[in-house]
Amino acid sequence: MRSAEQRVSFEMSGLYKGIDDHALRLGMGHTWQDLFLVEQFINMGTGPDGNPLPPGGPLVDLSDSPYAFAPEKARNISHLFLQDVWSMGRIGS
């Protein structure tokens, strides 16, 4: 298997400590990925035509088939998160 990828991403977050024994982190981010030059050769499993490959057969190219491990395409991934870090008890109280 072989592939190449270009990726641009960013993330930002902020921390709020205005609640006793808590620290709240809120953040967001975005990633753009472009997966290209995907090549996959196999000699077991499902072939590019959807039929099972005979055990021990020659290598078969799955590139650009629906059975490849990942299609060549660009993806946009956005995320949000909220994290609450809290104290269960205080030492020495």
| pLDDT confidence tier of residue 63, bands split at 50, 70 and 90 | confident
Structure tokens, 82: 């909220």
pLDDT higher than 80, residue 88: no
Q: Is 60 within the bounds of a domain? A: yes
Q: Taking a C-beta distance cutoff of 8 angstroms, is the pair 2, 37 a contact?
A: yes
Q: Is 91 within the bounds of a domain? A: no
User: What does pLDDT average to over the chain?
Assistant: 89
Q: Is 93 within the bounds of a domain? A: no
Q: Is 92 within the bounds of a domain? A: no
The total domain count for the chain is: 1
Q: Taking a C-beta distance cutoff of 8 angstroms, is the pair 26, 10 a contact?
A: no
Q: Domain span at residue 66?
A: 2-86
Tell me which of 58 and 55 has the higher pLDDT. 58
Residues 65, 68: Cα–Cα separation, whole Å: 6
Residue-wise pLDDT tens digits, 1-45 = 888 999 999 999 999 999 888 899 999 999 999 999 989 999 988
